Chains A and B, each alone.
Chain A
Amino acid sequence: MISFLRLFIAFSLRHAARHRGRTIAVVCGIALGAAVFTSVRLAVHASIASFTRSMDFFAGNADRVLVQPGGVLPEETLARFYTHPAVRDYTVLSTTYARKADAAAPPFLLIGIDPLLDRTFREWRLRGREAEAVEGWLDLLREPYTVLLSLPLARELGLAPGARLALEHTRRTADFRVAGLLEPSGLALVEGGRVGIVDIATFQELTGLYGKIDRIDLKFRRGVSAAEIEELARSLPQDLALHPPSAARESGVTMIRAYQLNLSVLSFASLFVGMFLVYSLVALNVAARRKELAILRALGAAPRTLFALFLSEGVLLGTLGWLAAIPLGAVLVRHLLEAVSRTISTLFVRVRVEDLELSAAEIAVSFAVTVVTSLLAAWQPAGEAMRVPPREAMDMVAPEERRRRSARFAALLALGCLAACGALLPLPPAGGVPLAGYLAVLLLFLGFALLSPFLLEHLASGLDGLLARLAGPPARLAGRAVRQGAVRTAVSVGALITAVALFTALVIMVHSFRRTVETWVRQTVSGELFVTAKLGQVNRFRFPIPEDIVEGLRRLDAAFDLVESRRWFLERGHFPYEFEAMGMETFFRHGDFLWLQGDPAAIRPRAARGEGVLVSEVFAARTGLRPGDRFEARIEGSLVDLPILGVVRDYRTDGGIVFYSHAHFRERFHDPRWSGVRFFFREPPADPEAELSRLRRAILERWGDRLDLVGGRELREAVLRIFDETFAVTTVLLLIALAVAALGIATTLTVLVLERSRQLNTILAVGGSPRQIRSMIFWEAAFLVVTGEGAGLACGVLLSGMLIEVINRQSFGWTFLYTVDWPSLGLSLPLIFGAALGAALPAVRAAFRQPPAALLRQR
């Protein structure tokens, strides 16, 4: 071991130190990749940790939680458990979002509990001396409209115990007294510590949910069997569900994990491109040091020692890269944290990340992935080193690369990879994760990387005559050099192919996605003004608009058509989705869905007549339900059982959506009431802005304190802004992958030029000018970049189809209309070409580092 370490220091470390320029370039490439990978993982982990912590504090130590999916429980349900033999303790809990009236502060979570019953379920303690704490707790019990605030929230609102707080909610604004402050533990840490606790009776008065509660938490007596719990569940009304307390957490985490996996795969791309750099450097070291390797073998080194030496080089590069990634990652993760948590809150579950949590497991994963990636990259060249015969030590001629692998063989392997990629695509996802799809993407990259020697050889020979005529001897010499070194340069070209393919595919995917979302927003999110109950969005539309306001809105203005809606958030198994009852007939007069399955002309009147539901693409993909199948759900006690008429595109959330006629819901089931309404101009007015302002003013004057208003244009712009913010992370990851690829081209060209310095000086000696030699190196770079970019473009187009039709469909359940963003590609590809060509500059400088006269001294 010690002797190997000595050999490693003498043979590998000293060589790396002597060629520190190229070593640093590769370490930088790995560092960029590792920094991106680590920071993305840490940012998503922080969101997951914050979400699970909230959910765990919330769940407390209950054994089961009783809820009514899509609705609230009647308080009388609690009476079932007073004397139930299996139940030891029970309590109630309701939550909502409220905010300080007339304050710009965002809403916070208000929890309604029974202060007596809850003590055995959840931890929450008041600050101050014991007597003060007891007094605060008693106040909560005996005095209506008292609230306990978490410390951070009290600080944020500038409130102390005894202070008054005007609290705004959907129905009304009420005056509260701050009875005490909570110690930062347990329930007080939910939602990043922005939380208030009130007595359940006060909660019901504030929200209008008289006699209603969100859930009942149960604790069973010691020794209660699963059969008894099962029996208890069966005895409950059909519209109630008895869940383990972790169900909501698991469902949320499952959704975030899918997002984490997608982002991790994308961030791994930079590391994957970095892998080409390690391969390239170790392979070049092996090729350039064959003579030394032969000498080591001749002196008694075992083949496995040489193998271990180069493998250790890979590990060293990976480790140094990972260490160098730490400061870079620390900066990156701060920026990513906000973007990632915002995306998770928009698409999946509400998270509020206060602090970055350094997860030892995530750091270990990042280290292991970086080092293993580098080790795998070094494997093949290390194997090559192992096969150097000792007799080469006796050769007089300078070591050349003797084993010239066949480009044709690599091309055959490439075809094999591409065929396997095609075979994997139709396979279904494993546990909701498109594993076969990811493997297919990897094989696509490998296939194109393996094709690159063949492409380089054929491009160089195909253009030989033409370039010689157009650009003279430098272009011809460059073409020949590229042909000769096609197998070795292919590694860097492979890295460029990967980066350009990712870039192209994501440009196409994001553009297709955006164009589809734009169309969806224009058609489906149509309307001039959207009105919802106060705090409707944050409270997931649980609190309908009061009836008197609904009546007032109906009669408000004859110039407008109204499309009323009611939304419920439901679950089918662990899959969360929304059910929206909407004024379908009026909606079809002004807007439309983006239809995917079914004949729109035939379905529209049927949907308006309430003959069935329309389901979103995501819902259909996740549940496997198709037009003709039946949709079943229990909503606020009604069993909704309707045929599915068609499938439409919808991008509102990652969950699915089911649409049904509002009027027919009321007829067939119960009054769904209104959680929102949108206004359309009945006829196009002469001055739309003035008409809209008039409507807005009329609503604000009458119900401004009870309703939230947002203009149609503002809403549509906000949707697109959120979309752009979501994909901003993707753009950063892409640019880093491209930078790593450019680094690869720079390293390869420099090393190739250094290796060929004798040839370049010979050209100088037989009459070549420095300018001709520079031009030759630039032509070589141009060959590499054109091949990398051309093949990358082709690979990217294929990849974009795979991302849209396989990865996205399997990960998120949605697809989009395929459109290529030619202007962006047309602008960015020449930029990439220029940047990659710029990577030839270090090589040009390296060409003249050795004086030409040294040629005569080299024997």
Chain B
Amino acid sequence: MSFAEPCPGAIVCARNLTRLFRLGAGTVTGLDGVDLDIDPGAFVVLKGPSGSGKSTLLSLLAGLDTASSGELTVAGERLTGRRPADLTRFRREVVGMVFQSFNLLPTLNVLENVCLPALLAGRDEGAARRKAEELLERLGLAGRARHPADRLSGGEMQRVAIARAVINGPALVLADEPTGNLDSKNGEAVIELLARLNREDGVTVLLATHSDLADGVASRTLRIRDGRLIAPPCGA
């Protein structure tokens, strides 16, 4: 199989993916002709220095940004040239996101933060609550369900963010430096949690990071530099 051919059955399939940013009169290349396939159920770690293009790639995969050129398919959905409404549905149903700075809404409590994607998707509130409570139980946060989100520790906040990312049962979880704001103990716990979700629920995980904490659990490690992947795109 050549680099440029599609990988049948892959959950992520990117071909010649390019993202250019206008900066004043010039342009900056965020991604430069990336080809990438990820198999379902994989735990992929994406490593690279700051400004290498990790976050840009994750933004495209999450449907938060659109490519300047190239092709991108995630979970069978072609993301290039889609309407904003389609991208909203895609984010609700297909991907879950975990951020470095947690991004919990301070106005909501823990349970409400977790429920939020389900409610935004128009799901039944009772069912969403039950699912959120179940997730919090699994993540060891049952006792914190009614706490204001901004009163938790960093580790707890990230666990809530992970629960929020998976409440709609996404096929792909995208985690952008999820351990960046945590100490090593909490960082390890978060990686372990993502690995568990990957193992037990079959969720595909793409984790962008600087650290080596995830090396032990990754089924595959990719490296990126100057907007280009420098490891083979295929294979688990």
A770 interface residue (CB < 8 Å to B): yes
Is the beta-carbon distance between A770 and B84 smaller than 8 angstroms? Answer: yes
Interface residues in A384-415 by Cβ distance below 8 A to B read: 396, 398, 400
The closest CB in chain B to the CB of A478 belongs to B107
B127 interface residue (CB < 8 Å to A): no
Interface residues in B178-203 by Cβ distance below 8 A to A read: 180-181
What residues of chain B lie closer than 8 Å to A770, measured between beta carbons?
84, 88
Is the beta-carbon distance between B107 and A480 smaller than 8 angstroms? Answer: yes
How far in angstroms is the closest Cβ of chain B from A582? 71
A764 vs B63: C-alpha distance in the bound complex, in angstroms?
Answer: 10
A772 interface residue (CB < 8 Å to B): yes
A759 vs B168: C-alpha distance in the bound complex, in angstroms?
Answer: 20
- B155-170 to A contact mask, C-beta < 8 Å, 1/0: 0000000001100100
Stretch from A48-56, A627-635, A851-859 contacting the other chain: A851-859
Best-buried of B56, B101, B107, B108 by chain A (most CB within 10 Å): B107
Is the beta-carbon distance between A859 and B100 smaller than 8 angstroms? Answer: yes
Stretch from B36-44, B114-122, B217-225 contacting the other chain: B114-122
Is the beta-carbon distance between B120 and A763 smaller than 8 angstroms? Answer: yes
Q: A763-B116, A766-B91, A767-B88 given as contacts; is B64 within 8 A of A856 (CB)?
A: yes
Q: A859-B101, A859-B180 given as contacts; is B59 within 8 A of A766 (CB)?
A: no
What residues of chain A lie closer than 8 Å to B91, measured between beta carbons?
764-767
Is the beta-carbon distance between B64 and A765 smaller than 8 angstroms? Answer: yes
A416 interface residue (CB < 8 Å to B): no
How many chain A residues touch B (CB < 8 A): the figure is 32
Which residue of A396, A481, A852, A858 is within 8 Å of B65 (Cβ)?
A: A852
A857 vs B64: C-alpha distance in the bound complex, in angstroms?
Answer: 12
How far in angstroms is the closest Cβ of chain A from B118? 8
A173 interface residue (CB < 8 Å to B): no
B62 interface residue (CB < 8 Å to A): yes
Is the beta-carbon distance between A767 and B85 smaller than 8 angstroms? Answer: no
B76 interface residue (CB < 8 Å to A): no
Total residue contacts A-B, CB cutoff 8 A: 90
A472 interface residue (CB < 8 Å to B): yes
Is the beta-carbon distance between A853 and B65 smaller than 8 angstroms? Answer: yes
How far in angstroms is the closest Cβ of chain A from B53? 11
B103 interface residue (CB < 8 Å to A): yes
How far in angstroms is the closest Cβ of chain A from B153? 13
What residues of chain B lie closer than 8 Å to A480, measured between beta carbons?
105, 107-108
Best-buried of B88, B100, B117, B120 by chain A (most CB within 10 Å): B120
A769 interface residue (CB < 8 Å to B): yes
Q: A480-B107, A483-B107, A762-B103 given as contacts; is B168 within 8 A of A767 (CB)?
A: yes
- B73-112 to A contact mask, C-beta < 8 Å, 1/0: 0000000000011001001100011011101011110000
A26 interface residue (CB < 8 Å to B): no
Interface residues in B29-79 by Cβ distance below 8 A to A read: 55-56, 58-59, 62, 64-65
Best-buried of B58, B59, B180 by chain A (most CB within 10 Å): B59
How far in angstroms is the closest Cβ of chain B from A396? 8
B176 interface residue (CB < 8 Å to A): yes
The closest CB in chain A to the CB of B103 belongs to A762
What residues of chain B lie closer than 8 Å to A765, measured between beta carbons?
62, 64, 91, 97, 99, 103
How many chain B residues touch A (CB < 8 A): the figure is 36
What residues of chain B lie closer than 8 Å to A468, measured between beta carbons?
125
Is the beta-carbon distance between B92 and A484 smaller than 8 angstroms? Answer: no
Interface residues in A357-402 by Cβ distance below 8 A to B read: 396, 398, 400
Interface residues in B201-230 by Cβ distance below 8 A to A read: none
A477 interface residue (CB < 8 Å to B): yes
Is chain A's interface secondary structure helix, strand, loop, or mixed overall? helix
Is the beta-carbon distance between B105 and A763 smaller than 8 angstroms? Answer: yes
What residues of chain A lie closer than 8 Å to B120, measured between beta carbons?
473, 763, 766-769, 772
What residues of chain A lie closer than 8 Å to B117, measured between beta carbons?
766-767
Is the beta-carbon distance between A484 and B64 smaller than 8 angstroms? Answer: no
Best-buried of A759, A762, A851, A857 by chain B (most CB within 10 Å): A762
A758 interface residue (CB < 8 Å to B): yes
Best-buried of A400, A472, A852 by chain B (most CB within 10 Å): A852
Is the beta-carbon distance between B64 and A764 smaller than 8 angstroms? Answer: yes
What residues of chain A lie closer than 8 Å to B108, measured between beta carbons?
477, 480
A858 vs B176: C-alpha distance in the bound complex, in angstroms?
Answer: 11
How far in angstroms is the closest Cβ of chain B from A479? 9
The closest CB in chain B to the CB of A772 belongs to B120
A481 vs B165: C-alpha distance in the bound complex, in angstroms?
Answer: 22
Which residue of A472, A762, A856, A859 is within 8 Å of B59 (Cβ)?
A: A856
The closest CB in chain A to the CB of B104 belongs to A762
The closest CB in chain B to the CB of A398 belongs to B101
A765 vs B98: C-alpha distance in the bound complex, in angstroms?
Answer: 10
Is the beta-carbon distance between A856 and B107 smaller than 8 angstroms? Answer: no
The closest CB in chain B to the CB of A473 belongs to B119
- A464-479 to B contact mask, C-beta < 8 Å, 1/0: 0000100011001100
What residues of chain B lie closer than 8 Å to A396, measured between beta carbons?
181
Is the beta-carbon distance between B64 and A473 smaller than 8 angstroms? Answer: no
* Ranked 9 nearest A-B pairs via Cβ: A480-B107, A767-B92, A853-B59, A853-B65, A769-B88, A762-B103, A856-B55, A767-B117, A766-B117
Instruction: Name B residues whose Cβ lies closer than 8 Å to a Cβ of A.
Output: 55-56, 58-59, 62, 64-65, 84-85, 88, 91-92, 96-97, 99-101, 103, 105-108, 116-117, 119-122, 125, 164-165, 168, 176-177, 180-181
- Sample (10) of A-B pairs whose CB atoms are under 8 Å apart: A396-B181, A473-B120, A762-B105, A766-B117, A766-B164, A767-B92, A768-B88, A853-B55, A853-B64, A856-B55
Other than A770-B88, A852-B59, give 8 A-B pairs with Cβ distance below 8 A.
Answer: A468-B125, A477-B105, A480-B105, A765-B103, A766-B91, A767-B92, A769-B88, A855-B103
